[in-house]
Structure 1
Amino acid sequence: MTGSNMRTTPVYVVRPIATDAARAEASAFAEDYARALAEQGINVSARPITSSPGGQALGVYEDDVLVGALVMYPHADMRHWGVDGREPGLFVSLDHTADGQVGQAITLWLADYAASADGTKWVWCEVPTAAGDAHHRLAHLGDFGWECLRPGCGRDSSPVARLRLRARSLPGIAAVISAPYLSAGRAVSA
């Protein structure tokens, strides 16, 4: 590639799902995502992508088109994980961003984002084991660098596989994915 053909903006942008229009788009995305995976024999929840107490819904956009979503809980209480949840970390729900290039980019971004928050050592995630897609999702997340810990109960007391990702600085990730509305381990309004 010559210098004039090189992309100067990140491929993906992460921003809060904070307006009625963004929530409607995210709900439609969740339904489409679940339907596409169901066609492959993988059943996932089509539950809406919304912020919840202590959590921030975030959309992953490529050229202003929603291509993934997650919910981030910067100050999650992980006592239900026992010894595995004692170190400082960031909990995320990746229900709508586990596969392909978007999942890999989000994984790298989360590792870097967590490293920028003072004292954060881990990013944690739970994958429901009762869901039909558990093996599929665990395989993809493992390929992206997530470490599977012992199974247990999740935040809602259902059986889950517990995963963690080590926080690490990746200075080049900003060329792939940026989050102009997030800084220093906390979300800010769009």
Structure 2
Amino acid sequence: MSTLPTATVRTPPSPAVPHAPFEMRPLRTGAERAEAAALVTDRLDWLARRNPQSTGAAHVPDLFREAPEPTAVGLYDDGRMICCMVLDRAPDTRRWGHEDRGPALLLRHVYSLPGQGGMSVARLLTMWAAEYAARSGLPWVRVEALLVGGTATPAEVVAHLIEYVADLGWTSLGNATGALGERVTRLHLPADHIPTLTVALHCTVPLTEYRSTS
């Protein structure tokens, strides 16, 4: 009796998923929050060594330990936290004056690991914030960047900061007093869809928990 040859069925290989070396994700566990608090402490110590009059931000590590989930987020480089911040999806920025028109994403308490605060990290954070705001339906990203404390703050420090971020698309709206009485420079950035960002950065920060209900 003749038999038909058996067909060999080959399953096509699954397409390779490119590995994004950076990840932005919410800090959900106590260990992640403790790591963020330690990062902030290290950065504050580094700032204090460079300028003894720096800040009045000793309370910030506790903010990361106590921030309601999932407002605290971390930027990771191959599993290592290199930056952390607190997201405010519906900030009260009336103290900003006439520049505050409409909703925005406010980045609070942005701290990078000492040795990781260069232009490449700033550029990555800028792109992520613009893309995340756009996907959230928000027109602007805002940030209050902490200035060196005291009246002896040299103007060139502020000028350097503004020049640094202007190249990334941020616009300075001048200096002011922050929500906790700290001296800050106010910056904002238009939201922007950047589809190619996923090649470099994988984001798991949820959008739904920041959408407006109005």
TM-score norm. by structure 1 comes to 0.79
Q: Secondary structure at the match of 1:113?
A: helix
Q: 1:154/1:89 Cα in 2 relative to 1: closer, same or farther (>3 Å)?
A: same
Whether 1:74 and 2:89 are equivalent positions in the alignment is: yes
Match among 22, 25, 32 for residue 42 of structure 2: 32
Shift of 1:7: 9.0
2:195: which partner in 1?
171
**Maintained 8 Å contact 2:26/2:72:** yes
Q: Quick one: distance in 1 between partners of 2:171 and 2:17?
A: 32
Give distance in 2, aligned partners of 1:108 and 1:178.
Answer: 12
**% identity of equivalent residues:** 27
Q: CA RMSD in A?
A: 3.0
Structure 2 portions without partners, runs of 5+: 1-15
Q: Deviations over 1:7-61 (max 9, x none)?
A: 921121111122111122112212223344556x254646315153698110111
Change (3 A) 1:114 1:69: same
| One of 124, 129, 148 as aligned partner of 2:147 | 129
- Alignment: residue pair count: 180
- Report the AA paired with residue 15 of structure 1: R
Distance verdict in 2 for CA 1:22–1:95, change over 3 Å: same
Q: Which residue of 2 aligns with 1:14?
A: 24
Identify if the C-alpha distance between structure 1 residues 7 and 54 changes in structure 2 by more than 3 Å, giving closer, same or farther. closer
What TM-score comes out, normalization by structure 2 length?
Answer: 0.71
In structure 2, the residue corresponding to 1:151 is in which secondary structure? strand
Paired letter, 1:52: A
| 2:106 counterpart of 1:88 | no
**Contact (CA 8 Å) 1:127, 1:138: kept in 2 or not?**
no
The answer on 1:144 being equivalent to 2:172 is no
8 A contact 2:26–2:70 mirrored in 1? no
Identify which of 91, 105, 109 aligns with 2:124: 105
Structure 1 counterpart of 2:164, one-letter code: H
State the secondary structure of the residue aligned to 1:150: strand
Q: Secondary structure at the match of 2:131?
A: helix
